[in-house]
Structure 1
Amino acid sequence: MSTNVFINLPVSDLATSKEFYTSFGWTLDPNFSNDDAGAVTISDTIYLMILGHHHWAQFTDKPVADTRTTSAVINALSVEDPAEIDTLVDRALAAGATEGKAQDLGFMRSRSFADPDGHNWEIMWMDPIARTGDWEAVQAKYGEQQPA
């Protein structure tokens, strides 16, 4: 059985967030979306739940963090091809995201963005050789760069 991942985010303007996340190719599931929440399908196993602040409060007693000024989580998603990084991040930027830090180590590349509420996302690719942990093979292919 595969594990599904549900990322839950509080958002200040649900309509804006629904438009933002669907504008770059993710799909809003109308069966689990209403005036309080939006269910966004990222992949077959990854889902994003965007919740208005009043709805978010039903799940926790903690106050909603101001993610425009603080950071607690970076939601990182991998892609199969490094070109997909630019495609997705450029679409997010066109939809109103703010670009964050980029990284290019050759064997691993990423770009990041913040959504309209300041939630951080990183889109990344890693060469399958690097995933094996065989750093001699990585260095042979990319040079002396080391993993962080």
Structure 2
Amino acid sequence: MPKTIFINLPVADVAKATAFYEALGFKMNPAFSNESASAMGWSDTIHIMLLDRAFYATFTDKQIIDAKTHSGALLCLSFDSKEAVDDIHSRAATAGGRETRAIEDKSFMYGGAFEDLDGHGWETVWMDAGASTDGATLAHDAA
């Protein structure tokens, strides 16, 4: 099995969150979805689980943050082109998301940030990794 990441996000309304992510191009897997959780695939190895806040609470004894007022993680999606970055920002806005950082073009890197209906932040990036030989510079500029 390839290394896979499952990102679990607490959401106020599973159905509305599912519709938002479907509008971005994520695919819902009905075999692992119900009224309390929605399994959403981005690729063969990247998935998010949209979990009702009460259900999410069964996995942790910590207080669940309100992502609209607190940051708990910085998540980033990469794209194959600048046009794909523009497209996902447009889809996010149309589906009710909020742009939190306008798209910037730094020649070798292009991207911005938006948040979903529950305030979970998503960075976007297209990068020409061959344009820079300094990985530290790329990592810093991506943040």
TM-score, normalising length: structure 2:
0.89
Q: Report the CA distance shift for 1:11/1:2 in structure 2 as closer, same or farther (over 3 A).
A: same
After TM superposition, the runs of 4+ consecutive aligned structure 1 residues lying more than 2 A away are: 130-135
Name the counterpart of 1:52.
Answer: 52
What is the one-letter code of the residue matched to 1:20?
A: F
Question: Does the C-alpha gap of structure 1 residues 45 and 15 become closer, same or farther in structure 2, counting only changes over 3 Å?
Answer: same
Displacement of 1:130: 3.6
**Unaligned 5+ residue runs, structure 2?**
none
Pair 1:134–1:118, CA change in 2 (3 A): closer
Partner of 2:130: 129
Distance 2:132 2:53 in 1: 38
Q: For the aligned residues, what is the CA RMSD?
A: 1.8
The number of equivalent residue pairs is 137
* TM superposition score normalised by structure 1: 0.86
Separation in structure 2 between the aligned mates of residue 90 and residue 44 of structure 1, nearest angstrom: 24
Tell me, what secondary structure is at the counterpart of 2:101?
Answer: coil
Q: Equivalents in 1 of 2:88, 2:33: separation in Å?
A: 23
Cα 1:131–1:40 shift into 2, 3 Å = farther
Partner of 1:138: none
1:1-148 to 2 correspondences below 5 Å? 2-102=2-102, 103-130=104-131, 132-133=133-134, 148=141
Structure 1: segments with no counterpart, 5+ residues: 136-146
Q: Counterpart amino acid of 2:60?
A: T
Instruction: Output the amino acid matched with 1:75.
Output: L
- Bigger Rg, which one: 1
Q: Mean alpha-carbon deviation: is it higher for 102-111 or for 52-61?
A: 102-111
